[in-house]
Amino acid sequence: MPGPAAPKLCREQVDKNLPLSFAFLTSFAKPAQVCSVLGLCGSQSEGQQHDLLTNHIQDTLKSAMTMTKVQFAPQCTFCVYLIKILKNMLPKMAVIDMLGKVCGILPSSYRDQCKNLIEKYGKKLMDMLLSYINPEAICTLIQVCHGMETLVSESAPLSDCDSCLTLAVLTHLQLGSNASEPQTASFLGSVCQLHPNALPKCDGFTKLHGHQLKGVLGKPESALNVCEVVGLCGGVREAGEQREDPCILGTSYRCRDLKTALECGTVSFCQKFLWK
């Protein structure tokens, strides 16, 4: 579907007709073949090439790394595959060695695309790997894959630490590592709409923790350091600084009783989300 109007037209067609059509067509044909026939995925040979790539990846992945259904865009397939391979290899060797080996085990016709993906997104991928985010979420957040955040939301509920790490990565991707407090405050006000499925209970989390996070997000520190500083991962850090405001100690403190909630300004939140 070439042309500048393709994205809008594609979304309209998907919403209107494609789900029922695919449900019928895929009952007797492979998805890649269906897309090729409909003119959405290039030629039949390209569809067959993609099947070969997907089969190769499925055969290569270890049993502990279940292959998720990904889109038919090769870059998206590469991205999810790379993250899963890297996560599996991370404890065993240096990052640079890993990146080279991942592309080396792909079919030769795809190695150049793999290397291009790593050159373009390698730093972002590694930053987020160290923040413990799911492969599908990483590839969606760097906009290599689209529409996969829903898969992430179906997993186990995120802890406050996981939610903070995710929010820190999202902020870094959007604002960089030298954002002002007004910029981070503005982003915190819009992140739930920009990424509706990336952060479960996003509204409640940002309302409760936004005041303390807006001063530390978008800084050069790693996501884990940021979340440790505000006490959402591993407690409040003692080294270097001591904060006088006890309200940063977490939900258990702010909502422990009415008096404390009044002091921290979290009465409505505690009533809505924690107090029965």
Per-residue pLDDT at 237:
45
User: When comparing pLDDT for 173 and 18, which is higher?
Assistant: 173
Asked whether the beta carbons of 30 and 44 are under 8 A apart, the reply is: no
Distance CA 77, CA 148 (A): 12
Asked whether the beta carbons of 260 and 254 are under 8 A apart, the reply is: yes
pLDDT > 70? residue 203: yes
Per-residue pLDDT at 243:
47
Provide the percentage of residues in the chain whose pLDDT is more than 70. 46
Per-residue pLDDT at 62:
42
Distance CA 245, CA 67 (A): 46
**pTM of the complete model:** 0.37
The model's pLDDT over 234-258, given as tens digits with 9 standing for 90+, comes to 644 443 444 456 776 666 677 778 8
The model's pLDDT over 34-60, given as tens digits with 9 standing for 90+, comes to 455 545 555 555 555 555 555 555 555
Choosing among 1.10.760.10, 1.10.260.40, 3.10.105.10, 1.10.225.10, the CATH entry for 71-155 is 1.10.225.10
- Cβ contacts of 41 within 8 Å, gap of 6 or more: 32, 35, 47, 50, 72
Task: Give 70's pLDDT tier (boundaries 50, 70, 90).
Answer: very low
pLDDT > 80? residue 211: yes
The model's pLDDT over 118-147, given as tens digits with 9 standing for 90+, comes to 777 665 565 555 554 667 777 776 677 765
Task: Give 186's pLDDT tier (boundaries 50, 70, 90).
Answer: very high
User: When comparing pLDDT for 192 and 7, which is higher?
Assistant: 192
- Cβ contacts of 273 within 8 Å, gap of 6 or more: 201, 204, 208
